Amino acid sequence: MRTTTATVTIRIPTPLRGFTNNQETVEVSGATVGEALQQLVEQFPRLKPHLFNDEGRLRSFVNIYVGDEDIRYLQREATPLKPGAELSIVPSVAGGGL
């Protein structure tokens, strides 16, 4: 049985836009966070090493939010997505303009 796939928007942060042809948002379809991210890196393969480690797991310094909630406190990559959901990639940034 196939799960229904939803069209969702992924917000790309500035440091990673170099890998998405400077697109600030990318539309993908996916029933879960994992599926949506998989589609994203298939569309932009150069993004992959920045989001996933060699074992294919999400890197620990990349936070993914659905709406305003961290997926670590939902069902991680298995978190289901409703149509129109907004995913944000929020990487750690250190700059202080020193």
Partner 1 sequence: MPVTTADITLTPEELRRYSRHLILPEVGLEGQKKLKAASVLLVGAGGLGSPLALYLAAAGVGRLGLVDFDVVDETNLQRQVLHGTKDVGRPKLESARDRILDINPYVQVDLYETRLTSENALDIIKEYDLVADGTDNFPTRYLVNDACVLAGKPNVYASIFRFEGQVSVFGTPDGPCYRCLYPEPPPPGLVPSCAEGGVLGVLPGLVGTIQATEVIKMILGIGTPLIGRLLLIDALHMQFRTLKVRKNPECPICGEHRTIHELIDYEQFCGLPGRNGETAAQQTAESAVPEITVHELKARLERGDRPVILDVRKPYEVQIASIGHDLLIPVDELPERLAELEPYRDREIIVYCRSGVRSERATKLLREAGFRDVKNLKGGILAWSQEIDPSIPRY
Binder among 7, 27, 75, 90 for partner 1 (CB under 8 A): 90
Binder among 2, 54, 60, 84 for partner 1 (CB under 8 A): 60
Selection from 34, 91, 87 nearest residue 59 by Cα: 91
Region from 2-10, 26-34, 35-43, 70-78 binding partner 1, contact rule CB under 8 A: 70-78
Q: What single DSSP character describes residue 90?
A: E
Closer to partner 1 by Cβ: residue 19 or 35: 19
Residue 84 interacting with partner 1 (CB under 8 A): no
Residue 65 interacting with partner 1 (CB under 8 A): yes
- Give the footprint of partner 1 on this chain (CB under 8 A): 13-15, 18-19, 46, 50, 59-61, 63, 65, 68-70, 72-73, 88, 90-98
